Amino acid sequence: MTESTAPLTPLPIAAPRRDHLLRRLLRHRSSRIGLIMLSGFFAVIVFGPLLVAGSPTSDPHYQNLGESLQPPSASHWLGTDLLGRDELVRLVIGARYTILIGIGAVVVGILIGVPLGALSGFYRGWVDLLVQRLIDIVLAFPHFLLALALVAVLGPGLRNLIIAVALASFPRFVRLVRASVLSVREQPFTEAARALGVSERRVLWRHVLPNSLTPVIVQAPLELGSAILTASGLGFLGLGVRQPTPEWGTMLGESRDLIFSNPRMLTYPGLCILAAILAFNLLGDGMRDVLDPRLRSRKRLPRRLRRRLPRKAGR
């Protein structure tokens, strides 16, 4: 008795849904607010100098001692500082320096921390021991005090400030990448690459490291806020960029003697620093929620089931 050998009809397979990262970030409340705020900051950086151009006061270094500490008016929307310089112009130009310091410090920290963390987690042994003891020594110093000591050794200036803040923050990236690499290096696809005869170096840089960068992407916006705060603190102490560069932390330091007589001189740059740090922190929080598959799967559950699940530590 023969059985029917009619060909089987394949079941339809749903096409994978392509949900882009930017679309998910815009749907998330925290990251949406952070992106809107950052868009405003970058618009000020790009177009702000064009809006304040056209008059002598558009130069952030232009001084007019006869108009010292003028209140807000039609000619000076936010008033003037102790040397008669337009406060709005200095805030607009200062955004470029402050954001540049934060981005530069984080980029340098990533360029140092990611390779060290990858080598430490992949090769282990004496390489891991050496790198981790170096990181332990760096982490033994408080973050701000280490940056302060480095600036004191290197001297004030924009480049030295970026280097000092980066050297104080790169250990976080080393630890993050190392933990991620330790997990990824044991995955089946890395074992398959080794079985095919791929060299260890190629396995690290082509297979392990690209799949270990998600924590770095999440941590980078948070580190941007921390770098801006550290750089502003150093500028407040007079160890930031050289005067008369209108950096927000330096503007705070120049106005600290006016905290009681003219508090608006500290209020404006302080609010700008607060808004920039808040924007980066909101973006980082949203990216963590969007890129963590456990949080995404949790949010797809009904509310009554979500309440029964244990919450993630720190949330």
| In-domain check, residue 254 | yes
Residue 269: domain span: 25-49+79-296
pLDDT digits (tens, 9 = 90+) for 72-106: 888 888 888 988 888 999 999 999 999 999 999 99
pLDDT digits (tens, 9 = 90+) for 30-85: 889 999 999 999 999 888 877 766 666 677 888 888 888 888 888 888 888 988 88
The amino acid at residue 297 is: S
CB atoms within 10 A of CB 25: 19
| In-domain check, residue 255 | yes
CA neighbours closer than 13 Å in the CB half-sphere of residue 308? 4
What CATH number should be reported for the domain holding residue 235? 1.10.3720.10
* The two structure tokens encoding residue 134: 């170096």
Look at residue 230 in the predicted model and tell me its pLDDT.
94
| In-domain check, residue 54 | no
| In-domain check, residue 122 | yes
Strand partners, 80: 86
DSSP string, 232-276: HHHHHTT-SSPTT---HHHHHHHTGGGTTT-THHHHHHHHHHHHH
Q: How many domains does the chain have?
A: 1
Look at residue 12 in the predicted model and tell me its pLDDT.
41
| In-domain check, residue 307 | no
| In-domain check, residue 289 | yes
Q: What is the value of pTM for the model shown?
A: 0.82
| In-domain check, residue 15 | no
| In-domain check, residue 287 | yes
* The two structure tokens encoding residue 168: 């104080």
